[in-house]
Structure formats: C-alpha cells, structure tokens
Amino acid sequence: MRALARLAVTTLMVAAPVAAVTVATTANAAGDPAPITVLTSDFEDGTSQGWTGRSAETIASSTAVAHGGTRSLAISGRTAAWQGPSHDVLGTFEKGTAYTISAWVRMESGSDSARLSVERRTGEVAAYDQVVGNTAVISGGWTNLTGRYTLATDVDFLRIYVETASTTGSFYLDDVTASYVPSLPIQTDIPAVKDVVPEFPVGAAITGAEIIGDHGSLLKRHFTSVTPGNALKWDATEPTENTFSYAQADPLIAFAETNGLAIRGHTLVWHNQTPSWVFTGADGQPMTATAEDKELLLARLENHIRNVAGHYGSDIGVWDVVNEVIDENQADGLRRSTWYTVAGLDYIRTAFRVAREVLPDAKLFINDYNTNVPAKRDKLYNLVAQLRAEGVPIDGVGHQMHINVSWPSIAETEAMIEKFAPLGVEQQVTEMDVSIYTNSSETFPAPPADRLLQQAYVYRDMFALFREHASEITSVTLWGLADDNTWLDTFPVTRKDAPLLFDTRLQAKPAYWGVADPSKIGTSPSPSVSSSPSSSPSSSPSAGSSTCAVTYRVTGSWPGGFQGDVKVANTGTAAISGWKLAWRFAGGQQVAQLWNGSVAQSGADVTVTNASWNGAIAPGGTASFGFLGSATGGNPAPAAFALNGTNCAVL
C-alpha cells in the first residue's frame, strides 16, 4: 500500500519556525491530566486585560460582538496589516514548556486571514515565531486560532500577538487562553536505545527546544546522533544573499558536541525551504535555462556550500549534500526543480565537488524518500552509479523512510538495501518515522492502541532488518524525538500523528519496546505467561486498611477491543520489592498484549507480575503498565485489585 507515500511538496519555500517548536494541533496523549491555564482573556470586565496595540491602533473592550459572554476586544484604526493586539507573556511562558494558545478572531466587516505569533527579543535581536498560520477570518462568525509554542531560548521580551494577512480592517479578539500539560519525568529505568542497538549510531532530528530540559535529557539518554531538522536548511542559513546565519543551528551543534553526539548535516541543496532570491536572475526575473542564469545559480550554490559546510568544518561528519532530486515519473528520473531546469545535472555535480573540496573527510550523501519503491529506487541507483562512474564523490545513499504502519513490507525494504550494496556506498536511514495513518483521510483524536501495536511491530521488524544489514547501514535516524513534535502533525494533512518511539509526554511507547525489547510486545495472546494467579481479590476491598491504591483506566476502545492503563501506588510505609497484581474481569475481557509487566490469565482471573525494572516500589512510589484487551459487549472495570494478596484501594 502506497497511500501515504510522501507527496511531493511543490512550494518553493516553507517557512520554518525559528528556534521554537510550533505545531498546529493540540491533541495530547490519552489519559493526560487537565492542562494548567496560565493566561485567560475574556474581556468581560470591560478592560483590555493587559492587551495593547503593537503600534498606535485602538484597542478597547467592546459589546458589539462576543464569542462568549457579552464582550470582546475591538481592534480598530489599524494602518498596517501587522498591527494588532499583543500581550506580554514574559515571566508567564517558561523555556522548554509547550504552551497551547487558543484565540477567537472575527472581522468587523469583510474578510481576511489572521495569524497568531510570538515576538521574542534577546538584547537587540528580535525574532517572530509563527504559532498559527494564516487562517480565514470573516465578519459573520468567529474563527479559532490554536497552536502550540515552546520557547527555546533565553529572552528579555516575549509577547503573543494577532495580525492579519492583507487588510487593515478592524477586527475583534475574544476568549484567549494559554495552557500547558504538566510534563512527566523521563523514564530512567528503561534501556537506552543506543545500548540495545550497538551496531550503528541511532539519531533523532531536533529543533531548538529539544535540547532543553526533559527533551534534552531524553535525547542524550537514548541517542548517539542528531540531525538539525530545519536549522541547516538554506532558508535558515542564508536567508538573504551572502548573509549567513547560524543562530538556529549553533546551539544544536554545541549541544551535540558537548554530549558527544554525531551530527548529520541536513541539507545543502533542496528545492524546498530555499529562499526565492536563489532562483532570481540578475534581471530580477525567475531564472530560466540560460547560460547566464546557470552560471549565477552554480556560483550561489558554491558560495553557499563553502560557507555553510566551512562554518562547521569537521564538526559535521556526514552531510546530505542534495535532497530529493529524484522523480521516478521522469524518463531520466530527475526532478524538474528549478535547480534542474536551470543547471541540469551540473547542480548535483557542483554540490558534491564543492562539498568534497571543503570537507575532504566528511561522508557526502544523496538523500531521498520512497527509496524502497522499486521505480524510484532504480532511478536513484542509476543516477548514483552514473555520477560515481564520472568521479562525483558520493559516499552514501540516504533512505528517508517516512513510512506508515502498513507500508512498506520488510521484503521491499530489504530489496532496497540489497539494491545499493553492490555500488559500495554507505547507506543510512535518515528520517525514519512510522505514521499511524495509512491514508490521507484517516484521523484519530488519540492514537488507537491497535495502531500503536502495529507500529511497534514495524519498528521491531525494521530495526531487526537494519541490524542484520549493519555492514551496509551505517546509521539510523528518526525524524523527531517524541510525538509532541512531529512534522506529520501537519503533513500531508493537519491531524495529530504519533510516529516516534516516545509519546507526547516523552514516555516509552510500544514502538520503543519494539526496538528495545520485542518480547514486551509479543505476537501471541499471552506473551510471557507466569504462574497462575496467586490470589484473586475479594470484591469488596477495604480501602481504609490497604497499603496500595490502583488506578485503572481505559484509554482507548474500538469495536471488540480496548487499551488499558494501570497504575499501582504503594500507599504503605514499607518498600515493595516484586509484585503481583490480581483482578477479575467480569465482562469476559481478555488481555491480548501487555507491556511493562507480564501477564497470566485464567478465565476471568488476571495476574500481572512486575517487569525486571519496575518491581521495586518505594513508599509513595508507583509502577505502571499498559495492555491491550479484547472485549465483546460491555467492558466493566474490575471492581477490586489485590497486590501480593492484599486488597488495594481503587481510585
């Protein structure tokens, strides 16, 4: 099935957030606690509640229209589209915390598009991070703008603001909130991915905020390589001609160096995220296939590579020199990007030649998506074979591997690796993620457990394949650290995806266990059966005398099945070392798979025994496990639980 094969992004330039993480959706993992609200503006008290204009426009509480209650904030007298209401969040937003910002906007008359952003300043340097992009706004009703924002740098000025795209029309703002879900500490009692996969570096793509706090700790703990996800692209490094900026990339590179992580440089030449000036001729017109334009384009390319690759020198050991140059639908297999239409194959030759001159020791890669698809794979193979025969210094082929839970097959992926092996190139998996969606029309409010399990099997099988082929595969990088920040939240459509090893709260998913310890996700209904239940709880536990408390939650359900999450708390004063939790399913439910513990079920009686790493529960501490179950008809929660034979309070 190829339904979710990467769609070509045809825009020339995609704006990348600057040193901040923004995604357009707000969904959190099922079972998350209630968000904590740090800003609420409803304007019901008749004041502007701290909102001021960005310039000399008029800001006032109004009763003309209201999203909730009877008042909103009216913004009028604007003389430029960037003017609009703004509110201080310095001291409110903490670095490294992901805030969900929601605002309602309505035009006074006519229509426009509105967007929500954050302006931050450090010293004299200002930056503007878009949180919600242009969204149609009308006068006949309210439009919601919701997005997420994580501050990644130290600032001395921080304000959120709303502006419009084109007109200076008056508009209204109402019911603004900013909130966050409290983070969980990362798990330190589970194996590090880098330790369970010793054959090659395992990496993650990162953006600014992912080197901070718990994200930084998770990154260091599990990974041995990083790829700046946007910070080294042309729009970030050379936004205007011959003016180079490393403000986004330098902190990421410094973090990698401090922590001994390898760095994949991504990417020197691409058709996306490349400013339009690159393709504008000396006459101010879009470049065409003239000798003059070709010369100028290749000169710009050479200058760019000399500067960017030269800036980091040997600190970056691997570069994706060119990205996504193949189009299997062309007879010659070459994407008709402006690079190609102006310069032909010479842009690729020039890029590798210059990169080699600047970096004699770096590994130089050609990187692409859908390289498992035979038609594309073969065109890429032919190009690499041809260029290497010419002496173009291509050291490696990068397989992006943006895949999904049902595509591609292991056999096709293995054929991909085997295809390139005779070329004598290195191969790296450069951008792996496994979407929970199998086509562009699916959307789930929270990841269904069966998809998460399917995903775990994909990770298990793909990593097993890569490890078997460790003589060809020299690195595997995931395109993101955890599900709270993935590009798939907005590609190919906007919906919450969950394609990585850690969930939105940085906790290990079944996918993680697929890589770290596949025995935890099993393939049979009872993966690791221990002895039969030691004791079944009585149906009326006495909470008063208990030394344990159990929280049992169904976090997702679908016809015939459900996912459960169980937390066991030690409410006594003695440490627990090793535990068995027993309960009875009254509705005929069966546990199919269980993680972070092992399960035995006999009829209605279920016993879960701790895993090796969560057997000790200090007084006041907890242990958790999750499972998938089948349920036909009702799915009543167990009425009672016994821990090591003693009844627990049920919360």
CB of 328 to ligand XIL, least distance (A): 16
Per-residue x/- track, 213-252, ligand XIL (CB under 6 A): ----------------xx----------------------
With respect to ligand XIL, which residue has the nearer C-beta, 99 or 270?
270
Per-residue three-class SS string for 248-293: CHHHHHHHHHHCCCEEEEEEEECCCCCCHHHHECCCCCECCCCHHH
- Report the residue from 12, 13, 16, 493 that binds ligand XIL according to the rule CB under 6 A: 16
The pair of structure tokens assigned to 95 is: 């670095």
First to last CA, the chain: 44
With respect to ligand XIL, which residue has the nearer C-beta, 11 or 573?
11
- For residues 71 and 63, the answer to whether their CB atoms sit within 8 Å is yes
CB of 416 to ligand XIL, least distance (A): 17
Active-site positions?
324, 431
Q: Spell out a b/e string for 355-365, using b for 16 or more CB atoms within 10 Å of the CB, else e.
A: bbebbeebbbb
CB of 369 to ligand XIL, least distance (A): 6
CB of 487 to ligand XIL, least distance (A): 3
- Report the residue from 234, 312, 463, 487 that binds ligand XIL according to the rule CB under 6 A: 487
**Beta strands at 622-630 and 641-643: parallel, antiparallel or unpaired:** unpaired
With respect to ligand XIL, which residue has the nearer C-beta, 487 or 625?
487
With respect to ligand XIL, which residue has the nearer C-beta, 17 or 510?
17
Q: How does DSSP classify residue 344?
A: T
**Beta strands at 20-23 and 646-647: parallel, antiparallel or unpaired:** unpaired
| Residue number with the smallest Cβ distance to ligand XIL | 487
CB of 310 to ligand XIL, least distance (A): 21
- Report the residue from 225, 248, 323, 371 that binds ligand XIL according to the rule CB under 6 A: 323
DSSP string over 572-636: SSSPEES-EEEEE-TT--EEEEEESEEEEEETTEEEEEE-TTS-EE-TT-EEEEEEEEE-SS--P
Q: Which residues contact 502 (CB under 8 A, 6 or more apart)?
A: 218, 481, 482, 483, 508, 509, 512
With respect to ligand XIL, which residue has the nearer C-beta, 229 or 333?
229
With respect to ligand XIL, which residue has the nearer C-beta, 14 or 138?
14
CB of 113 to ligand XIL, least distance (A): 19
Distance of CA 29 to the CA centre of its chain: 13
With respect to ligand XIL, which residue has the nearer C-beta, 21 or 186?
21
The residues facing 484 across adjacent strands are none
Size of the site for ligand XIL (CB under 6 A): 8
- 544 by Cβ neighbours in 10 Å (0-12 / 13-18 / 19+) ranks as exposed
Q: What is the rounded distance in angstroms from the CA atom of residue 99 to the CA atom of residue 102?
A: 10
With respect to ligand XIL, which residue has the nearer C-beta, 41 or 272?
272
Q: Rule CB under 6 A: is residue 24 a binding residue for ligand XIL?
A: no
Q: Show contacts with ligand XIL in window 185-214 (CB under 6 A).
A: none
Cis, bond preceding 408 (omega within 30 deg of 0): yes
CB of 210 to ligand XIL, least distance (A): 12
Please tell me the total number of residues recorded for the chain in this structure.
651
Q: What is the rounded distance in angstroms from the CA atom of residue 492 to the CA atom of residue 4?
A: 8
CB of 403 to ligand XIL, least distance (A): 12
Per-residue three-class SS string for 49-85: CCCEECCCCEEEEECCCCCCCCCEEEEECCCCCCCCE
With respect to ligand XIL, which residue has the nearer C-beta, 163 or 431?
431
Q: Which residues contact 548 (CB under 8 A, 6 or more apart)?
A: 568, 569, 570, 571, 572, 576, 641, 643, 646, 648, 649
With respect to ligand XIL, which residue has the nearer C-beta, 236 or 591?
236
Q: Spell out a b/e string for 487-499, using b for 16 or more CB atoms within 10 Å of the CB, else e.
A: bbbebeeebbbbb
Give me the residue label for tokens 């990348």.
Answer: 16
**Helical (H) or strand (E) element with 354:** helix 346-358
Q: What is the rounded distance in angstroms from the CA atom of residue 43 to the CA atom of residue 57?
A: 18
Q: Show contacts with ligand XIL in window 376-405 (CB under 6 A).
A: 400
CB of 479 to ligand XIL, least distance (A): 6
CB of 230 to ligand XIL, least distance (A): 5
- Report the residue from 12, 14, 165, 196 that binds ligand XIL according to the rule CB under 6 A: 14
Per-residue x/- track, 406-435, ligand XIL (CB under 6 A): -------------------------x----
Q: Show contacts with ligand XIL in window 600-619 (CB under 6 A).
A: none
Instruction: Report the amino acid identity of residue 560.
Output: G
- For residues 419 and 372, the answer to whether their CB atoms sit within 8 Å is no
Name the residues that contact ligand XIL, by CB under 6 A: 14, 16, 229-230, 323, 400, 431, 487
